[in-house]
Chain A
Amino acid sequence: MNAIYILWLREVKKYSRSRVQIIASLGQPLLYLLVLGFGLGPVFQRAGGGSYLQFMAPGIVGMAVLFTSVFSGIALLWDRQFGFLKETLVAPVPRINVMIGRTLGGATVAMLQGTLIMVVCLIAGFRPVSLIGIPLGFVFMAMIAIVFAALGTSIGSSLQDMQGFQLIMNFLVLPIFFLSGALFPLNNLPKALSFVTKLDPLSYGVDGLRAALTGSAHFGALLDAVVLAGVAVALLCLGAWRFSKIEI
C-alpha cells in the first residue's frame, strides 16, 4: 500500500513542479476551444446543433485527459532511459503495486489537467446545465484517465525507447481523439465511421462527460460508465501483465 502511495505521490509532485509544461499544455485545448469554438460555432448553430462551445467543451476536457494520461504512461520510457525504472523494478514490492501506483498517479495528473481545462472552458463561456452534473463529470473524467493511463503504461512497458512515439501518436492517440465525437455529434454518421466510433473507448468517455455536464448523450450515461469500467479493467490487466514482463 505504501509503495502504491509513494509512487502515486511521485507523479503528482513531478506534475506540480512542471509549471512551464502545465502552461504549455493549455495551448492546444485553448486553440481548439477558441478557433473551432468560435469558427465553427455559427455553422453548427445554423445546422440546428445549438451552441458549439457548449457541445465541444466536454470533448476538449476529454482530449486533455486523454493526452495527459497516455503520455504519463509512456513517460515510463523516460524513466527507463534515465534509469529510475530499475530502482522500482528490483524493489521488494510486487510489480503490480508499482504499476498501480504509477498508473493511478498518471490518472490523477490527467484529472488535474482536465480540471484545469474545465476551468478554462468555464471562462470561455461554457455553462454546465446543473450543479449535480459536476461530480458525475468528475467520475467520468476519472474513468477516462484510468483507461488511458493504463493504455499508456501498457505501451510504455512494451516499447524499448521513444522511437515508436510518433507512430503511437499518429496512429493511436490522435485517431482516438478524432473518432471520439469530441468535435462532432455521433448521430447520422456514415455506417463505417459510426462503427469505428463505437470501438473507441473515448467516445463513451466524452459521451459520459457530455451527459453529466450538458444533459444530452448519444449512448447514455449508464452504458458509458459500464463500457469504460470494462475497458479500464481490461487495460489495467494488460498493463500489469506487460509491466511484469519488463526486462532491462
Chain B
Amino acid sequence: MGAMIRVENLVKKFGDFTAVDNISFEVPKGEIFAFLGPNGAGKTTTIKILTTLLRATSGTVEVDGLNPKTHENEVRQSFGIVFQDPSLDQDLTASENMDLHGVLYHVPGKVRRERAETLLKLFELWERKDALVKTFSGGMRRRLEIARGFLHTPKILFLDEPTLGLDPQSRNQLWTHVKRQNEADHVTVFLTTHYMDEAERVADRIAVIDHGKIVAIGTADELKQKTNAQSLEDAFLALTGSTIRDESASSTDQLRQVAQMFRGGRR
C-alpha cells in the first residue's frame, strides 16, 4: 500500500548487453523521486519499461499497483510523460500538437482549450501557436513538449531530463509547475536530470544509478553524509567515479578528460 511505483529485481538486456542490472526501489504516492546517473546508466530504459514502451527481461514492476506488461491500458491511464527525445509531430502546429495530446488523454474540449492556452502562455509559445513545429528552435520545441506534458493531470508524472536545452526562465517555470502539481494534486513525480542543483531543489529522494545498478538511494542529505561530501555533485562523483561514459560523452567532455589526464601526468 502506498507505493505508486514498485520495482523489484528488474533486469533489461539488449542482446548480451545488460542495460538495467537487477535494480529494486519503491516510490511512495506523492513523492518526487529523482533518478540520477551518468550517460548510459539505464535511466531512460527504466522509464521505458515503467511506461509500457519496453518489456522487461525479468523482474517485477508495478505502476499504481498494476503490471505494465499485462495491464498496458490501465497503466497508461495513470501516467503522463515528458520524453528525453523529441516526440512532437513537426508537421503540425503547436496548438495541433496540444490538441491531439488532449484528445488522446481524454481531456474534455473546453478544459483542453483553456489549459492549452494557459500553458502555451506560461511557456511563451502563445504567439507561435499556429506555426508548424518544424519552424521552432530547439528550446521552443522543448518548451512545447513540456507544456504538452502538463495538459492533463496524471497520477504519476515521468520527466526524463525535462530541462535539457531549456533557458533558466523556462527551467524555473517547469519546476515551479511540477512542485505545484505535486502539492495540489499529490502527483507522484519520477524525474531524471544531469543538473544536481535541480535534483536537490525538488526531489524528496534520490537514487543514483550507474552501469545499470543502483549504487545509493536516499535524501540529498543522506547521500552527502554517506560520501562525506559537501555538495550533491561531489556525492554523485564519489558514487559514480569521474570517468566519462564512452557513448554520449561530448567533445568538450572528452577535451576535459584529456586535460585532466595531462594534469595528472605532470603531478
Contacts and interface: CB of A to CB of B under 8 A. Distances in A.
Q: State the main secondary structure of chain B at its contact with A.
A: loop
Given A10-B92, A86-B87, A94 B73 contact: yes
B179 to A, nearest CB: 24
Interface in B89-118: 89-92, 96, 99-101, 103-106
B161 to A, nearest CB: 14
A194 B88 CA distance: 47
Nearest to A85: B87
Interface residues of A, number: 25
Interface in A79-132: 79, 82-84, 86-95
A19 interface: no
Contacts of A89: 52-53
Interface string A1-44: 01101110010011001000000000000000000000000000
Most chain-B CB neighbours within 10 Å: which of A3, A7, A86? A86
A83 B86 contact: yes
Given A84-B88, A92-B105, A13 B53 contact: no
A247 B86 contact: no
B76 A247 contact: no
B92 A13 contact: yes
A10 B85 CA distance: 21
Contact of B103 (A2, A17, A86): A2
A79 B77 CA distance: 22
A83 B104 contact: no
A92 B73 contact: yes
Contacts, number: 71
Contact of A10 (B54, B77, B100): B100
Contacts of B81: 90
B98 to A, nearest CB: 12
Interface residues of B, number: 29
A248 interface: yes
Interface in A48-103: 79, 82-84, 86-95
B103 A83 contact: no
B48 interface: yes
B83 interface: yes
Nearest to A95: B72
B54 A84 contact: no
B101, B104, B106 pick with most chain A CB within 10 angstroms: B104
A86 B83 contact: yes
B170 interface: no
A6 B104 contact: yes
Interface in B200-232: none
A83 B83 contact: yes
18 contacts: A3-B103, A3-B104, A6-B100, A10-B96, A14-B91, A14-B92, A84-B87, A86-B87, A87-B83, A87-B87, A87-B101, A87-B104, A88-B104, A91-B101, A92-B77, A93-B104, A248-B53, A248-B54
Given A90-B53, A92-B77, A248-B48, 4 more contacts: A5-B103, A86-B87, A90-B51, A247-B55
Closest 7 CB pairs of A and B: A91-B104, A83-B87, A6-B103, A92-B77, A92-B76, A83-B86, A87-B87
Interface of A: 2-3, 5-7, 10, 13-14, 17, 79, 82-84, 86-95, 247-248
Interface of B: 48, 51-55, 72-73, 76-77, 79, 81, 83, 85-92, 96, 99-101, 103-106
